[in-house]
Structure 1
């Protein structure tokens, strides 16, 4: 079963508990980075390694590629999913960037999730 949307509260240690149905998808690891707006991108590590890294390759003279590299790599964090509890820690600087306090909404956007503050999420 594919999970396309979930809501969660971060715990006191800034950990996000992934839905049980997603834990296998993120078993290769988790990459969190800034999005294009005030939200985060949450990638399975295998997707980041295969799709995003290859998309960021290109001429050093191509400003679009340079801009994407800065956007996606600035503040990027990679970690493993705690398989027993299904949790991943979200760095404070990423929470600050997205304006996330405690409650989040995550919506699938193709091969990754957009993670945003629940009070500003417009997913209707």
Structure 2
């Protein structure tokens, strides 16, 4: 994970330097077409690195759940929203919100859980 983050940072910096140099002094003398190609290539490499970091961080999320602990217990003890998003991404396939709204009760709407359909991956 540490190596992937370092690689991501290096690639991000490369894109930033490429843009700054082109719009600044342009020491390499890149033409517009060369700049566009170089930038597209650098950004594609950065996106591939993003996907690698995402995969590694998602696997890391499950590792942080202590052995013998139910996921529900770990969820209740961990207030980190980033961690919770990754766990939801691992467990849920899709969430469907059916039309129909909620229920109106004394000047406010009440959430109707029967309108929500959850499809689990497992």
TM-score by length of 1: 0.27
Q: Which has the larger radius of gyration?
A: 2
TM-score by length of 2: 0.27
Instruction: Report the structure, 1 or 2, having the larger helix content.
Output: 2
Instruction: Report the structure, 1 or 2, having the larger strand content.
Output: 1
